[in-house]
Structure 1
Amino acid sequence: MIIAWLSVENFRNHRSTEISFDPGRTLVVGPNGHGKTNLLEAVAMLDGSGSFRGATAETLVRAGSQRAYVRAEIQRRNRSSLVEMEIPAGGRSRAQVNGERARSLRDLAEIVTAVVFCPADLAIAAGGPSMRRSLLDEVLASTDREFRAARADLERILRQRNNLLKQAGQRPDSDALNTLDVWDHQFATAGETVVRCRAELVEALAPVAQEAYRQLAGTDASLELVYVTSWADMSLAAAVAGARSDDLRRGTTSVGPHRDEMEITLEGLAARTHASQGEQRSIALSLRLAQHHYIADRVGTAPIVLLDDVFSELDEGRARRLVGCLPGAQTVVTSATGHVPDGIDIDSRIEVHDGEVISASVCHDEPRHPDE
């Protein structure tokens, strides 16, 4: 999978920027705060997943503008697609592929996928359960249409159920209880699909993440991933029914996939509380490498790799070992200093200053083409 060129208009601090990408490895350099990461963010958003920095549409649109545009040519399995996204400062974003409107933003994942490595990934290992659920959902949304539909249903049903719980209070009437029965059935149906997909994904990621961790950390330490539900050994329908009284009292849904966890242990101890920061970074990188491997295997082509100032957060040994683990895919790397570890052969270099590309150069006469 290749992004041939990218055009952004009124996106973050970029008024109008268009750049071509080498099919190999591109280095984007420039001072901090001048727009390097913004370009990676635009690329990553083309799969319809939103900003990997958690930004709202309002903050994505350049100050003083009403909307931003992101356009790109994507080459996948010898087929080119023009992906265009319109991001209004208020309201929903829209996208089209080859001039035809996309049914859903998340369907863009069938055209383009990218895996982002960034310093904030430390939270995958060190943060709360929501960070790990988000990782699982991100991977599945890129590869599984059934999951995308089930998760969208689950989110909608959960909102409706919570609203009803708050309105009904501790003394619901018969109408409220009947409506709650309907929501509970739908919640359990969608939830079971989400849980099944997540659990299968964790099982698939575990051995790949283990091997990646051994290579990155230079150790034989045991890394384990286990998916844990928020209810006991019973069906989700039974768990939701059993928690109804408590849910009415609290006004919120207390069990379900939105409360689940992917537990990460290193040498049998919880990584969140017992691993060092260096170990947690290696765990996060291992999971990203496992994510790339899984998506490439499922969709049949290697996702674009986006490395946002990752090497500045790593010691020399981990940085060197990460270089050896990077997949053979189109890669875009950002660096404030222009320095990258030995072993990364840069094919092109783009310099960004104050939201503008001020130079672009080829570093090799014959650019390398990554494996697809």
Structure 2
Amino acid sequence: MYLRHLQLASFRNWERVDLALRPGATVFVGRNGAGKTNLVEAVGYLATMDSHRVAGDAPLVRQGASQAVVRAALRRADRELLVEVEINPGRANRVRVNRAALPRPRELLGLVKSVLFAPEDLVLVRGDPAERRRFLDDLLSSRTPRLAGVRSDYDRVLRQRNALLKTARLARGSSLATLEVWDGHLADLGGQLLAARLQLVADLAPHVARAYAQVAGPDAAGAALGYASTVPLAGDGTPIRPGTALPTHRQLSAALSEQVARRRAEEVDRGMTLVGPHRDDLVVSLGSLPAKGFASHGESWSLALALKLGCFALLRADGEEPILVLDDVFATLDAGRRAALAAVAGSAEQALVTAAVLDDVPAELRGTVVEVAGGRVVPLAAGAAEDATGDAAVGGALLDGGAR
């Protein structure tokens, strides 16, 4: 899989971008603030329908504009797809594939597969559980798009149930009669999400362990993944090893329902749902200790990198070659980690790399170099993309299918 063409309109600092791309590695080089990260952020948005840098869509729209458009020609095996996302802060986003509108934007998930590694990914090791839950759920949606609907439905039920619990607390329990209906929905959807997360952790763990050994060296302590849940059956953070028997969706739903009943009084007292996948955590371990709080800065960087390389390997193992995006990371890595990452990037069907200084990028990835400066994207090496401020013919063809 690779992007053959990328267009942006009023996205971040870009009024307009019209950029042809090729398989292999492309390096976007430019000073900080020039907009190179915004280019790869747009690619990531096509894959996840959100940004790795901000929580909402409003910052993605250029100042003074009412909407932004991200449009790409995507090559998948022997097929080419035209994908377009119209970002409308405060209103529903619109998505088209081959100029046909999709009923729901989330139906785009799974069509564009990419793995992005950026300095912000250090939060996967050192940050709050919410960051790791988001990491798991984004990967789930990429591998199995229908689970995005399960997650969305679970979040909706959670909001409704929390609202009812707050009402019950204020009304001294008079609203509890309808709570059982929401308990059933929470248990069913939560059990599905728990089962999917556990299977994902089991599938991802060996890839992360191999990637960490590659990045940190064979003498480093081993990396492992576990799952810590408010539902004891779903895990206590102990590493999930190959061959571990995992509970089923129905078993997890029953266990979640039991925990909800057991903590009913506490939930009413606090006015919130205290049990479920929304309160769980992915536990990243190094040797016999959890990485958070024990791993050094260098070990944390290696683990964050291993998590993303593990995702890349897992998606490959599923039979799809994802786009690898490396956003300003080579300058932060030592020689060993840089070489390990360059080896993976060099094997990708398409790798998009950003850097402030070209010398930070390993020489084997500099086949196509594009300068980002002064609101322009200009090729510096043979075989690079067209000047992105021009009106290339292929760019005009893509614009014909633009937002109305």
Determine if the TM-score, normalized by the shorter chain, exceeds 0.5. Answer: yes
TM range (shorter): over 0.9
Aligned to 2:292: 272
Q: Distance in 1 between matches of 2:169 and 2:60?
A: 39
CA-to-aligned-CA distance 1:242-269 (integer Å, 9 cap, x gap): 1111111111111100011111111111
Residues 249 and 173 from structure 1, CA distance in 2 versus in 1: closer, same or farther, beyond 3 angstroms? closer
Residue 367 of structure 2 is aligned to residue 347 of structure 1: yes
C-alpha contact (below 8 Å) 2:110/2:144 kept by paired residues: no
1:160 alignment counterpart: 160
Aligned residues of 2:10 and 2:65 also touching (Cα < 8 A): yes
Compute the displacement of 1:55 (Å): 4.4
Distance across 1 between alignment mates of 2:92 and 2:375: 25
Worse-superposed segment, 120-129 or 51-60:
51-60
Is residue 206 of structure 1 aligned with residue 187 of structure 2? Answer: no
Deviations 1:272-313 (A, max 9, x none): 111001101110111101111112222x22110100001111
Per-residue deviation at 1:49? Answer: 2.5
Q: Distance in 1 between matches of 2:150 and 2:70?
A: 28
TM-score, with structure 1 as normaliser? 0.93
Deviations 1:311-362 (Å, cap 9, x if unpaired)? 1111222212222243422000001112244353323111111332144543
Instruction: Give, in angstroms, the shift of residue 48 of structure 1.
Output: 4.2
What residue in structure 1 maps to residue 18 of structure 2?
18
> 1:231 Cα deviation (Å)?
2.6
Work out the CA distance in 2 between the residues paired with 1:77 and 1:249.
55
For residues 371 and 55 of structure 2, the distance between their equivalents in structure 1, rounded to whole angstroms, comes to 24
Query: After superposition, what is the alpha-carbon deviation per residue over 1:143-164, rounded to whole angstroms, capped at 9, x for unaligned?
Result: 1134222111101100111111
Match of 1:56 in 2: 56
Give the Cα separation in 1 of the matches to 2:138 and 2:376: 30
Is the counterpart of residue 192 in structure 1 residue 191 in structure 2? yes
State the identity as a percent: 39
Alignment counterpart, residue 285 of structure 1, candidates 273, 292, 305 = 305
The 3-state SS of whatever aligns with 1:344 is helix
Give 1:169 shift.
1.1
Aligned amino acid, residue 125 of structure 1: V
Alpha-carbon shift at residue 172 of structure 1 (Å)? 4.7
SS at match of 1:110: coil
Distance 1:15 1:205, change over 3 A: same
**1:113-149 residue CA offsets vs partner (Å, 9 max, x unmatched):** 1110000111101112111111111110001134222
Contact 1:228 1:262 in 2 (8 A): yes
- Change over 3 Å in CA distance of 1:341–1:38 after alignment to 2: closer
Please give the alpha-carbon distance, in whole angstroms, between the structure 2 residues aligned to 1:285 and 1:160. 37
Gaps spanning 5+ residues in structure 2: where? Answer: 234-253, 385-404
Contact 1:47 1:105 in 2 (8 A): no
Pick the aligned partner of 2:340 from 321, 326, 334.
Answer: 321
Amino acid of the structure 1 residue aligned with 2:49: S
Shift of residue 93, structure 1, vs aligned partner = 1.5
Question: Which residue is 2:90 aligned to?
Answer: 90
Query: Which of 101-110 and 266-275 deviates more?
Result: 101-110
**What letter is aligned with 2:314?**
Y
Number of aligned positions between the proteins: 362
Contact 2:48 2:138 in 1 (8 A): no
Q: Pairwise CA RMSD of aligned residues?
A: 1.7
**What pairs with 1:63-212 in structure 2 (closer than 5 Å)?**
63-169=63-169, 171-172=171-172, 176-212=175-211
Q: Flag the 1:280–1:191 CA change in 2: closer, same or farther, 3 A.
A: same
What letter corresponds to residue 270 of structure 1 in structure 2?
A: P
In 1, Cα distance between equivalents of 2:211 and 2:110:
26
Measure how far apart 1:56 and its partner are: 2.2
Q: Aligned partner of 2:300: which letter?
A: Q
Say if 1:47 and 1:111, in contact at 8 Å, map to a contact too: yes
Per-residue CA distance 1:15-45 (angstroms, 9 max, x = gap): 1111111111100011101100000011111
2:257 counterpart (233, 237, 260): 237
In 2, the alpha carbon distance for the partners of 1:297 and 1:91 equals: 37
Q: Secondary structure at the match of 1:169?
A: helix
Counterpart amino acid of 2:19? Answer: I
Call closer, same or farther: CA 1:181–1:354 in 2, change over 3 Å: farther
Distance in 1 between the 2:263 and 2:374 partners? 54
